[in-house]
A and B are shown apart, each in its own frame.
Chain A
């Protein structure tokens, strides 16, 4: 039995009572930690170019991403990343570190269900939507690019 009006009134009442997240401290922490992650990435990039002067810049970028992904997965595995993420929020979720964490954490979590049905199946349970939307949007852009190229 559902009473739409009563439910609406109750939802409005609850909404008014819900404790809200304080936006400014969260934003500030996300900003400076996110900035630090970017600084770290830039530092790694500069270091690679310094150590291998003949390397193409694009190749160095790829290695930088690999390094950041490794660091985030490593921190996830030793149980530190979730504490940083809880503090920094979007600061560590938005850079590639968040993506790495979202794949590594279910992989660890579900390893007791077996390599195939646990780790492999669940690995993309959080990152999956990001990959799907990435692929779909690149297909759309590709089609637009192709049509524009015809003229």
Chain B
């Protein structure tokens, strides 16, 4: 069994999202809590800017929950940079216990799932979960210098500059985490680093199929099924793969990365990065749940667990996907 039902149903009582200027001009722009005017965010380096985004997201979520930093018992966070420095350095700024997670772009679901399980077990009271990504830090770590005059291939995706944080607790108001499904590492041998969607789609298909089977549900039972950053190609592959497994995704399925930018913004297959699903969940989905638009949401972002070293040595790209079920007013 990969799926757990959480009896005590921890709630997301506070959330905050922050995004960069390009991201702010996208379709989700009006839902983000804060839009940066400049990618550098007044810092000396882009790494510092990414850290500042995370700090603001964490502080914002705690304030949104009506709590103080001292009320938080644990911080769960992760990011894309080597040794997850953005998260660790953010935790350094707050005086609270910290567990670093690495689930690549699936980190938002991973942190919420781990946090929800810990709270459900009665071990913690208030937990903050956060993640973020920055286009310029990811580019230099995984790809080329920003000013290099090269062309992007049609399957590539644009790492979003965005961050999101949620506060979990048993007390308060907000969407409840009813179930969590932890995913397996799935690798079907895609080694093209410019085609992350195809590399991660099998992991999403595996986790979602396991979730539907174990909970005896169908895709129609949800108002919204949302993956993280599969992009255009990846989400089309996911639809195909799930159909082959006997689950038909309908109009209630969407991908954060695929809808993150408009076509004019030239992001090829769409947005990617931890920040894509984190900011859409905390900016758009939770607000829409509170407004009563969505009652049951299956949130299943995917992560590509590769490193530039492994890719250069010819290794294929393993993918992972964790799913959480959010319910409000059911």
- Looking at A46-54, A84-92, A134-142, the stretch in contact with chain B turns out to be A84-92
Given contacts A10-B189, A14-B190, contact A19 B149 (CB under 8 A): no
Chain B CB within 8 A of A147 CB: no
Tell whether, in the assembled complex, residue B237 and residue A14 are in contact, meaning their CB atoms are under 8 Å apart. Answer: yes
Cβ–Cβ contact B154 & A89, under 8 A = no
Contacts A7-B316, A18-B233, A81-B149 supplied; 19 other A-B pairs, CB < 8 Å: A7-B188, A10-B190, A10-B202, A11-B188, A14-B195, A17-B233, A19-B155, A19-B233, A26-B151, A82-B146, A82-B147, A85-B148, A93-B149, A106-B145, A108-B145, A108-B147, A109-B146, A109-B147, A126-B144
Which residues of chain B are within 8 angstroms of A17 by Cβ–Cβ distance?
A: 198, 233, 236-237
Known: A10-B202, A14-B195, A112-B44. A86 touches B152 (CB 8 A): yes
Taking the nearest CB of chain B, how far is it from the CB of A81, in angstroms?
A: 5
CB-CB < 8 A to A10: which residues of B?
Answer: 188-190, 202
Shortest CB distance A17–B (Å): 6
The verdict on A104 contacting chain B, using a C-beta distance below 8 Å, is: yes
Known A11-B189, A109-B145; contact A21-B237, beta-carbon cutoff 8 A: no
Q: How far is the CB of A97 from chain B (nearest CB, A)?
A: 8
Rounded to whole angstroms, the CA-CA distance of A126 and B195 in the bound complex is 21
Quick check: B154 and A18 within 8 Å, CB to CB? yes
A64 at the interface (CB under 8 A from B): no
Complex interface bits, B183-206 against A, C-beta within 8 A gives 1, otherwise 0 = 000011110000100100010000
B226 to chain A, nearest CB (A): 22
The docked-state distance in angstroms from the alpha carbon of A80 to that of B269 is: 24
B-side interface residues, number (CB < 8 Å) = 27
CB pair B188–A6 under 8 Å, yes or no, is yes
Tally the A-B contacts, defined by beta carbons under 8 Å. 90
Residues of chain B whose beta carbon lies under 8 Å from any beta carbon of chain A? 44-45, 140, 144-155, 187-190, 195, 198, 202, 233, 236-237, 269, 316
Chain A residues with CB under 8 A of B150: 82, 85-86, 89, 93
Enumerate chain B residues within 8 angstroms of A21, measured Cβ to Cβ.
Answer: 153-154
B contact patch SS: loop
Which of A14, A21, A105: most chain B Cβ within 10 A?
A14
Given the complex of chains A and B, what is the CA–CA distance between A101 and B151 in angstroms?
Answer: 14
Instruction: Compute how far the CA of A137 lies from the CA of B17 in the bound complex, rounded to whole angstroms.
Output: 54
A45 contacts chain B at the CB level, 8 A cutoff? no
Given A10-B202, A11-B189, A14-B195: A20 and B146 interface contact (C-beta under 8 Å): no
Closest 6 CB pairs of A and B: A85-B149, A7-B189, A109-B145, A105-B147, A105-B145, A19-B154
- A77 contacts across to B, CB distance below 8 A: 147
The contact sample of 8 A-B pairs, CB cut-off 8 A, is A7-B316, A11-B190, A17-B237, A85-B148, A93-B149, A101-B147, A105-B148, A109-B146
Q: Is the CB of B151 within 8 A of A8?
A: no
A31 to B49, CA, bound (A): 39
Contact indicator A84/B189 (Cβ below 8 Å): no
Cα separation A13 to B40 with both chains bound (whole Å): 40
Interface string of A56-89 (1 = CB under 8 A from B): 0000000000000000000011010111111011
Q: In the complex, A109→B45 CA distance in Å?
A: 10
How far, in whole Å, are A101 and B195 apart by their CA atoms in the complex? 26
- The listed residue (B151, B155, B187, B190) touching A89 by CB distance below 8 A is B151
Is the CB–CB distance between B45 and A82 below 8 Å?
A: no
Beta-carbon nearest neighbor of A22 in chain B? B154
| Closest residue of B by beta carbon distance from A26 | B151
- Asked whether A101 and B233 contact (CB < 8 A) given A14-B198, A19-B155, A109-B140, the answer is no
**In the assembled complex, A34 has its CB within 8 A of some CB on chain B:** no
With the chains together, A40 CA to B84 CA distance in Å?
A: 47
How far is A26 from B154 in the complex, measured between Cα atoms in Å?
A: 13
Report the Cα distance A122→B266, complex, angstroms. Answer: 28
**B187 CB contacts on chain A under 8 angstroms:** 2
CB distance from B189 to the nearest CB of A (A): 3
Contacts of A85 in B (CB 8 A): 148-151
B179 smallest CB distance to A (angstroms): 27
Q: Which residues on B sit within 8 Å (CB–CB) of A84?
A: 149
Q: Please name all residues of chain A whose beta carbon is closer than 8 Å to the beta carbon of B146 when the two chains form the complex.
A: 82, 105, 109
